[in-house]
A and B are shown apart, each in its own frame.
Chain A
Amino acid sequence: GAVVSQHPSRVICKSGTSVKIECRSLDFQATTMFWYRQFPKKSLMLMATSNEGSKATYEQGVEKDKFLINHASLTLSTLTVTSAHPEDSSFYICSASHRLAGVGNEQFFGPGTRLTVL
């Protein structure tokens, strides 16, 4: 199956700093990538939809100036948490859409990035 990677797998940073998380589709081109956030014991919540070469679409309540998304190529999307605060500590997960003909299994998830802001 298609593989999606994320880097780093975990990061600890000081309050006020910015953190960049990468999401890569390793063996396929993904025109659309999605960024989710997951708080402890909660389900995944969509933050934004990222299409290659265009601006990301953010969900209601997600600050686009705080969570910068860049999808510059068909295999890479980045999420930058700017001026991070402790309440941004969470598990960030990306997924990428890939057309596997006739399967209907078209979305593949990365392993997630654990962000801890001190």
Chain B
Amino acid sequence: DAKTTQPPSMDCAEGRAANLPCNHSTISGNEYVYWYRQIHSQGPQYIIHGLKNNETNEMASLIITEDRKSSTLILPHATLRDTAVYYCIVRVPDNYGQNFVFGPGTRLSVLP
């Protein structure tokens, strides 16, 4: 079972920041938070991951609360191409023999 809960859907205006929340209250000390997204009829795409510090890359920022029980993925300037289902996943990293467990995710619609 997925260890995370996310809102089923969100809307965001084009050009504005999209803030996608994720609750993971049962996260273990050695588990990381991963974010993937899936654009319609494509495979999941890696976005970002982190342990406890905030992380930023060319795609997004990840803000993890101090107690690590929740996090927020931030797309700073959403475009229409960011419309996708976003999955928040927690797991132990570098666990090559273990699959990713996907929950229902958040369907983000970026509106013009």
Give me the interface of A with B, judged by CB distance under 8 Å.
Answer: 1, 4, 6, 31-32, 34, 36, 42-46, 49, 51, 91, 93, 95, 97-99, 104-112, 114
Contact in complex: B96, A99 (CB < 8 Å): yes
Q: Is the CB of B43 within 8 A of A49?
A: no
* Docked-complex contact A99 and B94, CB < 8 angstroms: yes
Instruction: Give every chain A residue within 8 A of B45 (Cβ-Cβ).
Output: 109
Chain B, interface SS category: loop
Query: In the assembly, what is the distance between CA of A57 and CA of B62, in Å?
Result: 34
- Establish whether residues B49 and A104, one from each chain, have CB atoms under 8 Å apart when the complex forms: yes
A93–B43 touching, CB < 8 Å: yes
- Taking CB atoms, residues of chain B closer than 8 Å to A43 are 87, 102-105
**Does B105 contact A108, Cβ atoms closer than 8 Å?**
no
Complex Cα–Cα for A104 and B94 (A): 5
Contact A109 B32 (CB under 8 A): no
Determine whether the beta carbon of B97 is less than 8 Å from that of A97.
Answer: yes
Q: Which residues of B contact A108 (CB under 8 A)?
A: 46
Q: List 11 A-B contacts (CB under 8 A).
A: A43-B103, A44-B38, A44-B102, A95-B43, A95-B99, A95-B100, A97-B96, A104-B49, A104-B93, A107-B99, A111-B42
Expressed in whole angstroms, the Cα–Cα distance for A54 and B100 within the complex equals: 21
B21 at the interface (CB under 8 A from A): no
Q: Is the CB of A107 within 8 A of B49?
A: no
- Which B residues lie within 8 Å of A107 (CB)? 46, 99-100
A93 CA to B103 CA, complexed, in Å: 16
